[in-house]
Structure 1
Amino acid sequence: MVRARLSMQQIVQRRRRAGLVARSAEREAFRANFDIPPGDAGHRFLFHVHGNAGVGKTRLLREFEHIARERGALTSYVDESAGGIPEAMETMCRQFAAQGHRFKDLERLLAAHRERRHEAELAALAALEPGSDSGPSAGSMAVARAGLAGLGLVPGAGAFAGVLDPTRLAQGADRLRTGLSARFRTYEDVQLVLSPESVLTPVLADELDGVTADVPWIVLFFDTYERTGPLLDAWLHEVMTSERYGPFPAAVVVVTAGQRPVDTTRWGAFADFMTALPLQPFTEAESRGLLAGRGITAEPVVAEVLRLTGGLPVLVSMLAGTGPTGPDEVADPSATAVERFLKWEPHPVRRAAALAGALPRRLDADVFRVVADCDEDQLDELYAWVAGLPFADDHGGRLRYHDVVRAPMLRLQRGRSPRGWAERQRRLADVFRQWREESGAGRDTGTLCADEDWSELRTAELYHRLCARDREALSEVLHDLVEACDQGEAVAARWVGVLQDAGRDADVPGLASWGRQLSAALSAGGTRAVLTELLAATTPVPSATPGTALPRTVPAGDPHPPHDPPSWDASPPEPASWQPDERLREPGDWDVTLPPPLLARIHRVVALSHAARGAYEAAVSELGRALALTPDDAGTRALRGEYGRVLGRHEQAAGDLERAVALDPADEYAWASLGATRLVHGEAQAALTALDRALELKPDYSWALIRRARVWRELGDPGRRLADLDRAVALDPGSPWAHCERGDALRAAGRDEEALAAYDLALTLDPGYASAYASRGASHFNLGRSAEALADLERALEIDPSYAWAGTQRDMVVRHRDG
């Protein structure tokens, strides 16, 4: 009779589950919840497992998943590999499909989200740097992505969440929506870019509701919540406690696990519907029970295990798995903790394999082949053995040693053979470099760091170079970090993590200091704070500069009202979400001098982030610092000229813009801004020359067409004025500014009924556009409709009480009515 043999996976699973025997209370609380109907007051919709690293949170969640499936539940398991809400939903869809339930509608929308976001990024980049063959710059990426929901200007998701207040975030989304409405066919397409969760979540809810006909329960697990929580917690709270996304099926149970307790400011009112499960190290009785279950009862052996582990479950389980049989095997008091962990594994090749597996941050069979010193025919067997170790957790097909085990293993190897340590680190770095070059071959280098596979290879390469004390690697990390900041917080965090991990694992205080400073900046102020911190490493931190408030006489898309010049009233600066406390300081062998072009690039990105929130004074100052480093950078000079024009500093702006077009005669952005500046000076012909040149370079440049239409107005050519505005509207039908300017031209030509239609379109696109109300009021008055005229002019003054032209028109209407 042939005996049934267990598979490797079954053996590994049994070993892992065996480590959870002491969590009977937590397992029973979770299991009992399935016997309580959702409508019963005792039912819990949320379980939050929390505790310090090493207490077995992931193992408990895996046991919960096993219990849930025993009860017929459909489950999903999301960990830190999900970089946001859409990525979390993609993980759910894959896992549900593997259990026989396809969420086809949600999968379709997720695919559309990826496509629309890519289109929006390309469109924004093309508008900012058309014709560039060198890939998008950090500055252009910052502007192009500033309003994209997945990267930043919608509260709760993205690169700049936490840097700007919710009002400005909403304004940024409104400005982007104006441009996207012309590109995408439907409102849903726009929302898939600006606020993907608002489109995807109701579909997720419907799909989950539909599957309840086939399964009694649905359990959603979110592990490593200390990392995923900042991305998912606010969304999850809204899903579970509000009607924003529609009804959620009552058969859903959510389980989260992280190092910190639940956020009581957010979840406090939900306390009656959730259960917190704080995990502590095993008690002595629990540790003894686990050891006895593995056949380890000899008191000297048990006492030594208890002493070494302090009851930390991962260590108790690991030592129990090595099977010590006598006191002599644990009696050596001079051995380090790591040596004691491995002493009970008699085979030297296995001992070496376990230590080698600790070197990379993540381990798979390919990486193991590089680090393991063994014969080729032993590799598969050894890797299977390492994969079965209690401290080698499986994360998406790759192993990651538990921190409390990996750290002493690294210290042991580093101290025992410093040269051998460095040689192995260099070997790993070389292999990751080779794989990274293969992954990036023939691809756009400007966006590679946003690719998860490529960035993981690159950060692994840099991590191992830093561990080998390659001093040039630090400069490369910081250079890459600037690129990564363009892609958002989640991407930038990967490079910051390299510094933290290498500083800790290679015991390099300088690197650890860089990592702590930059991580604190990223958490407190997002990518802009990281760039500011990088500047602090080389230049003094600039003092705060008052921002500039922009009156809402203009719609998003153009910073100028069509009638009066703006009154640039200085407003107090916004409270800074992050201010570096001190300059980054490094030991001499890790000093880094950032090259001037990189410093200038950082200054420009910071300037763009200032401008995105209307702080043009601060933006101009930052661009001045960039130009001090790279005075012949045409793009930076053109940007400073444009911001100077916005601030009303026309002489300075003209100087910058003239220099910019001299440096780069093919820069249509600089030519267009120069034309607008010359018009303010009363130089209509010079303005026309500059704007003609901009339109020669870019015939579909709607901003330049609207500016040239103003020149035709000054030159007394209403036909050409209207022709340019007709073309601008055709090119950018989603621009309220273009429609309002066209309405003004029609009104000036005595075609007030047509002008009203143009103003109506402008106000449909931007209901807060004061100039469109004022202009529509003037047309109503021309047509003898005093009541409608007065209502529109009053509305314009409500939006912008300082709007002088609207006040003059209102007074004229009142005098006419009263006279």
Structure 2
Amino acid sequence: MARARQSMQELIARRRRAGFVGRAAERAAFRENLELSPEDERHRFLFHVHGNAGVGKTFLVRELEQLARERGALTAYVDESAGSVPEALAAIGGRLARQGHRCRELERQLAAYRERRHEAEAAALALDPEAAPHPSAGALAAARAGLVGLGMVPGVGPFAGALDADRLAEGADRLRAGLSARLRTQEDVNLVLSPERVLTPTLLGELAAAAGAVPWIVLLFDTYERTGRFLDGWLHEIMTTDRHGTLPANVVLVTAGQLPLAPARWGGFADFVAEVPLGPFTEAEARGLLADRGVRDEPVVAEVLRLTGGLPVLVSTLAEARPADPDDVGDPSATAVERFLKWEPDPVRRSVALACALPRTLDADVCRAVAECPEDEFDGLYAWLRGLPFVSERGDRMRYHDLVRAPMLRLQRRQSPRGWAERHRRLAQTFARWRTEAEAALEPGEFWKEERWRELRLAESYHRLCADPRTALPGVLADVVAACDHGDEVLWRWVRLLVEAGEDAGATGARNPEGWGSALTEDFAADAAAGVAALLLDRARAEEPWRATAYAVRGDALARGGDHEGAREAYERALALDPSLVRAVRGEALARSSLGDHGAALEGLCRALELEPDSAYNLFLVGEQLRMLGRYAEALAELDRAVGLDPAQPPAWASRGAARLARGELDEAQTDLDRALDLDPDYAWALARRGRLWRARGDRTRQLVDLDRALALHPDWAWGRCERGDVLRRAGRDEEALVDYDRALALDPDYAGAYASRGASRANLGRLPEALADLDRALLLNPVYVWALERRAAVHRRLGAEDLATADETHAARLSAPSPPPPRHHPSSVN
């Protein structure tokens, strides 16, 4: 039988590999690792290749993949074309299938995921009757709010900023209800909302099935500076925990990106990871590549080495031109850009190549806007540009390699500063016009949630900074403040914008974008939005209009981190600048509530309601605060209004159910709590409150079922742990109760209720000294805790300390508060 002819791709890959030069030590280390058994302590399970752009990471990763295949390994390669964990799993499954190991169950689940996600997106549009067949801007906005609120928009967390909290909550809650109605089962809902939890065990099972048939399975993840944002935590989890199953020992992972692995996540696993830092080629490696391309003339070689600094992408680019005449490299003042363009004689092409380096990314429209060429020549020039070796395509966009683009920018900026500024100014105007056109289809409050709008705004801001850094910087800093409300991914892009524009514009002085960007990068790495807001405020001039919002952003971040006192101070400073900033009024009130000052919190929330009288979210917060104060009739009045304004708001139903439960209205309370859970089956606070209702009805079995569900959703919820411990204690299962109390106190060491309850269980088990210590601690934290006083009196009496027991009983009788303090968490904190 005639041998099958090789494909074009196979022939290209073989030729490129035959020309692979350098990285001998890195290849040898990987090869040797495959000679070691997984049980050998020298074996490494993860190779992380890292280095600056242009050092040849992708070439090396592809070489490592080929080395693995030569040893019989099954391999899968993933790059930035995957934008999420499910897409990465699909890429892995496809690669394995092409090698004869089809992952049928994974394929089935991925198909189901794509179908269910499509149904979820359809459900989002179906929330508005205007959505079909041609959805209105309002319908699209509601749909996006729901998708963002459920975390289904990449890079945007479920809470995308207090400025729009009620809109996000409304959209997410309505979409949850729509999903529950549209999708067939809770498993389908889980597949849409948490695909990693469903798909990862299946992938691990497929790998385990394949692992017995091959010596190694090698999974390679390239462009990790992009994919690592969603893959790094997932890879760490499947390697170091058995949460989703086990990973076969003969799996080796390879990651490649610009940065080393994060020490906070990977620092404790150094014995299992091989760091592979890549720098420029050594002189010997660069000379070897040049010789392989036929460039051996010493003056030419010396000039290439000088101009490129050994960076592989530039060495390769210049080598491909094969300069042979020493006169070609005789000018000692030539730059890398001049050397690269020296071999392109067409002045129009040279001009287009330089001009198209100005935008950070390119498509045909951008290229047409920046290239000064006749329209009838544009298509040919654009096709030529796309074919240049330093231009890469990612989706529908192109970008220059950084190591080629940077010297091109420097050349243009130095040769003609006025021309540089004017070109960037024209580009900024072009992107501003496109942004304005995009805004016509959006509600004003939806701009920041729209990816296309953000892309245009970033491009416009970049070119304004390049044209005139001092004038543009204040407006861009205001955008940085706004970006803090839209997730770390969005904020990071604005921080990087300042760094890149500052470097490219060569700006200096106090208003230097690069100086701001570098400082913000450090603070972002340390504390994300909180760090960025703190630096902005530290450096802000008194007249900056965004200072009040920045203080509110910092308050939000501190509150999320549990620093409620710091949050209160930040909100107060925001209100000193802008007393009508609703997010600060509301945030300051909630911070006071978390600090136990419920009266002041109620006053602040009423002020927020005055400023936004039609906000169902504000009505709910006022009602909830009244409930926490024991003013149940007033609370019900506000919560009735909240439910009337927005019947799809689960927290309002749950809070009203809790208020009715406190009044002994068990049937009405159950109706409200059931309604909250119909709207949001994963609402842990409502589950815990319904558990209390089952306790009032004497149904301990149902109470435990609801508490178990709540804790399955939020295993680190201290209040829920203590609540379940109390159920177990009342059932006489004190040993089991102690497990929950211990966990609650590990999560919250100042939880008075958990100390008191643990003391009661220890007393039931006869461990009286330990019980007494717990009750003492509870009363130290809350001296007016009547129930703890009564329990301690009983322990004193059992220990024979009658006088101490009497003192506790007398003190308890004098106190008016008959129950422990309010729970540490209110419905809005667990959705």
Counterpart residue number, 1:522: 524
Query: Contact 1:149 / 1:193 at 8 angstroms: preserved in 2?
Result: no
5+ residue gaps in structure 2?
1-5, 127-136, 162-171, 712-718, 742-755, 762-773, 801-831
Quote the offset at 1:492 in angstroms: 1.6
- Structure 1 residues 70 and 370, CA gap change in structure 2 (3 angstroms): farther
Aligned-partner SS, 1:423: helix
Checking the alignment, whether the CA contact within 8 Å between 1:53 and 1:403 is kept in structure 2 is yes
Q: CA deviation at 1:463?
A: 1.5
TM-score normalised per structure 1? 0.71
What is the one-letter code of the residue matched to 1:111? R
Matches within 5 A, 1:136-535: 196-209=195-208, 219-226=218-225, 228-229=227-228, 231-249=230-248, 252-260=251-259, 277-376=276-375, 378-396=377-395, 398-436=397-435, 442-443=441-442, 449=448, 452=451, 454-469=453-468, 473-509=472-508, 510-535=512-537
Cα distance in structure 1, aligned partners of 2:274 and 2:687: 56
Query: 1:787, 1:296 → 2: CA distance?
Result: 81
2: CA distance, partners of 1:447 / 1:189? 29
In structure 2, what is the Cα distance between the partners aligned to 1:226 and 1:301?
Answer: 35
* Structure 1 counterpart of 2:666, from 694, 719, 722: 722
CA distance in 2, matches of 1:668, 1:220: 49
CA separation of 1:661 and 1:248: change in aligned 2, threshold 3 A: closer
- How far did residue 469 of structure 1 move? 1.9
Structure 1 residue aligned with 2:823: none
Residues 1:608 and 2:556 aligned together: yes
Counterpart AA for 2:675: L
The within-5 A match list for 1:570-719 is 593-595=543-545, 598-634=546-582, 636-675=584-623, 689-698=637-646, 718=664
Report the Cα offset of residue 619 of structure 1. 2.8
Q: How many Å separate the matches in 2 of 1:149 and 1:365? A: 26
In 2, the alpha carbon distance for the partners of 1:151 and 1:189 equals 22
User: 1:483-513: per-residue Cα shift (whole Å, max 9, x none)?
Assistant: 4333322222112111111111111231101
Picking from 725, 734, 753, the partner of 2:698 is 753
Code of the aligned partner of 2:708: T
Task: Say if 2:59 is the partner of 1:111.
Answer: no
CA distance in 2, matches of 1:339, 1:736: 64
Cα pair distance change 1:638/1:23, threshold 3 Å: closer
Change (3 A) 1:33 1:662: closer
Any idea what SS the aligned residue of 1:220 has?
strand
Structure 1 CA distance, aligned partners of 2:501 and 2:336? 22
DSSP-derived class of the 2:255 partner: strand
Residue matched to 2:165: none
Q: What do the CA deviations read for 1:120-178 (whole angstroms, capped 9, x no partner)?
A: 9999xxxxxxxx989999xx99996799997669xxxx999xxxxxxxxxxxxxxx99x
Residue 522 of structure 1 deviates from its aligned partner by: 1.4
State the alpha-carbon separation in 2 of the partners of residues 788 and 276 from structure 1: 46
Aligned to 1:559: none
Partner SS, residue 421 of structure 1: helix
Q: What is the rounded CA distance, in whole Å, between the counterparts of 1:663 and 1:143 in structure 2?
A: 26
Q: Rate the CA distance shift 1:403–1:700 in 2: closer, same or farther, 3 A.
A: closer
Greater RCO (CA < 8 Å, at least 6 residues apart) = 1
- 2 CA distance for matches of 1:807 and 1:494? 52
The one-letter code matched in structure 1 to 2:256 is: A
Aligned mates of 2:691, 2:281 — CA distance in 1: 75
Provide the C-alpha distance between the structure 2 equivalents of 1:229 and 1:114, rounded to a whole number of angstroms: 23
Q: Secondary structure at the match of 1:48?
A: strand
Given the superposition, is the C-alpha separation of residues 463 and 413 from structure 1 closer, same or farther in structure 2, using an over 3 Å criterion? same
Q: Is the 1:786–1:813 Cα contact (8 Å) retained in structure 2?
A: no
Report deviation, 1:467: 1.6
For residue 369 of structure 1, report the CA deviation from its aligned partner: 3.6
Q: Is the 8 A contact 1:218 1:251 kept in 2?
A: yes
Please report how far the alpha carbon of residue 666 of structure 1 lies from its aligned counterpart in structure 2 after TM superposition: 2.8
Question: Partners of 2:393 and 2:514 in 1: how far apart?
Answer: 27
Partner Cα separation in structure 2 for residue 662 and residue 357 of structure 1: 53
Equivalent pairs counted in the alignment come to 718
Deviations 1:500-545 (A, max 9, x none): 11111111231101211221121111122223333334379xxxxx
Match of 1:61 in 2: 61
Amino acid at match of 1:59: F
TM-score (norm 2): 0.70
Q: Which runs of 5+ in 1 are unaligned?
A: 1-5, 124-131, 161-175, 541-592
The SS at the match of 2:698 is helix
Contact 1:143/1:608, CA 8 A, preserved across alignment? no
Give the Å deviation of 1:466.
1.9
Contact 2:666–2:693 (Cα < 8 Å) also in 1: yes
Equivalent residues of 1:159, 1:490 under 8 A apart: no
SS of the residue corresponding to residue 412 of structure 1 reads helix
Q: Indicate the larger mover: 809-818 or 365-374.
A: 809-818
Distance of 1:420 and 1:8 partners within structure 2? 45
Deviation at 1:320, TM superposition (A): 2.0
Q: 1:479 to 1:796 in 2, by over 3 A?
A: farther
Counterpart contact for 1:641–1:652, Cα < 8 Å = yes
Contact 2:149 2:157 in 1 (8 A): no
Equivalence for 1:164: none
CA distance in structure 1 between the aligned counterparts of 2:660 and 2:490, rounded to whole angstroms: 47
Deviations 1:719-754 (A, max 9, x none): xx334312222112466665666676787xxx7534
In the superposition, relative to structure 1, how do residues 648 and 744 fare at CA in structure 2: closer, same or farther (>3 Å)? same
Q: How far apart are the structure 2 equivalents of 1:761 and 1:181?
A: 22
Change beyond 3 A, Cα 1:376–1:651: closer
Pair 502,12 (structure 1): closer, same or farther in 2 beyond 3 Å = farther
Measured after TM superposition, the shift of residue 413 of structure 1 is 0.8
CA 436–212 in structure 1, closer or farther in 2 if over 3 Å, else same: farther
User: In 1, are the aligned partners of 2:660 and 2:669 still within 8 Å (CA)?
Assistant: no
Residue in 1 that maps onto 2:806 = none
- SS of structure 1 residue aligned to 2:254: strand
Query: Aligned equivalents of 2:363 and 2:148: distance in 1?
Result: 38
Are the counterparts in 2 of residues 742 and 758 from structure 1 also a CA contact under 8 Å? no
- Rate the CA distance shift 1:437–1:58 in 2: closer, same or farther, 3 A: farther
Alpha carbons 1:607, 1:623 under 8 Å: kept: yes
Q: For 1:86 and 1:324, locate their aligned partners in 2 and report how far apart those are by CA, in whole Å.
A: 47
CA pair 805-182 structure 1, distance change in 2 beyond 3 A: farther
Deviation string 1:275-299 (CA, Å, 9 cap, x unpaired) is 5544443343433333333333333
Give RMSD over aligned pairs: 5.4
Contact kept in structure 2, 1:48 and 1:276, CA below 8 Å: yes
For the 8 Å contact 1:739–1:761, the answer to whether it is kept is no
Q: Which moved more, 1:311-320 or 1:505-514?
A: 311-320
